[in-house]
Copies of this chain bind each other. A is one copy, B any other.
Amino acid sequence: MTHRTEKPRVGVGLVGSGFMGRCHANAFGAVSGLFDLPVQPIKAILADATRQAAEAGAAALGFARATEDWSDLVFDDAVDIVAITAPNVLHDPIAMAAIAAGKTVYCEKPLSTTAASALKMTEAAEAAGVVTSVGFNFLRNPMVRLARELIAAGDIGVITGFRGRHAENYMINPDTPHSFRTDPQGGGALADIGSHIVSMARYLLGPIAEVQADCTTIHKNRPAAPGSGVRKPVEVDDMTHALIRFENGVSGSLEANWAATGRTMDLSFEVTGTKGAIAFTQENMNQLLVQAGDGPGFTRIEAGPSHPPYAQFCPAPGHHLGFNDLKVIEVAQLLMAHAGGPACFPDFREAYEVQRTIEAMQSSHAIRSWVSV
């Protein structure tokens, strides 16, 4: 019986232990068993808002140490990668510190609360030459990657139209209170989930040049805080419909809607070309509908080992990937980039572009006119 040799270790410092913090932790825990990586991530330090939360989080998620001060984490020598799942307003200071410390930075979306801040972060990261990655995890789906490849290869001809949507129902209850989600600084359906369909549109078809959005606040006020009897006005959108024009001239539409009754995850698109079409919805995330060439109709392609990196998870087709697996793919890409491999996509620059597009949509609503991004 022998002891196995170790790969170089990479220390992970995670800020935040909520929904996304857990996702990150699990992804770092699972990735080595699934991907053949040049490095071995180690869960080094977990930071959260209070010592108690940090310690509980570290215990639950398998981190060696805990702290209530994220700056301790950022500057600790045991940390090579700073993973940020803190509230959106903290993305900027934590990332800027991590960049200053020369660390690889892995930040949840949105990159920041404003495009200006996101641009500052992007430029700092690029100047420092650090690796960056932003958690638009839905782009990691092998089926979405396949869509992108089919489009790029010309399988559906010249692209003519786009139709996208991200619709969920998590804010449909008017008694769901205010939170960071409804903060005018970076909140609203368009910023929160519209960013997913904007990033997907860009991933598939490239930059968006012009936008015209129509934003709606369905519930005009909400409780000021959980349990509060005081209701305060809502200043952000619950639903936005938008027209878009890509730089390549393709015309399309987008919807972001967090009050979409009946929908829990309709992140969907249909891309139409002169020789075919591709349709996808996250509701069936392991399928892609493709009509190409002289095909008589849409063919349902089921995810399988011929669609990278599905084979890392399973050698047989039809064994679905789940949401958490998308995060593992994201983390694998991050670790390869950290070890000198290809740059991550989306990185800070791309996330800034998404945010800029979102802000252009918000502006277009305000002035009720088309706006160039």
Q: Which residues of B contact A221 (CB under 8 A)?
A: none
The 6 closest A-B pairs by CB, nearest first: A322-B322, A264-B318, A265-B318, A262-B291, A262-B277, A319-B323
Closest-by-CB residue of B relative to A245 is: B214
Q: Which residues of B contact A156 (CB under 8 A)?
A: 261
Q: Which residues of B contact A285 (CB under 8 A)?
A: 320
Count class of interface residues, chain A:
35 or more
* Chain A 55-67 per-residue mask, 1 if CB under 8 angstroms from chain B, else 0: 1001111111111
Question: Is A185 engaged at the interface, CB distance under 8 Å to the other chain?
Answer: no
Interface of A is mostly: mixed
In angstroms, Cα B285 to Cα A27, docked, is: 22
Closest-by-CB residue of B relative to A163 is: B255
Within 8 A of B (CB), among A281-333: 282-286, 289, 291, 295-302, 304, 313-325
* Chain A 34-76 per-residue mask, 1 if CB under 8 angstroms from chain B, else 0: 1010000000010000010001001111111111000010000
Copies in the complex: 4
Q: Which residues of A contact B (CB under 8 A)?
A: 1-5, 19, 22, 25-26, 29-30, 32-34, 36, 45, 51, 55, 58-67, 72, 156-157, 160-161, 163, 165, 168, 170, 172, 174, 212, 214, 216, 218, 238-239, 241-243, 245, 251-253, 255, 257, 259-265, 272-277, 279, 282-286, 289, 291, 295-302, 304, 313-325, 368-370
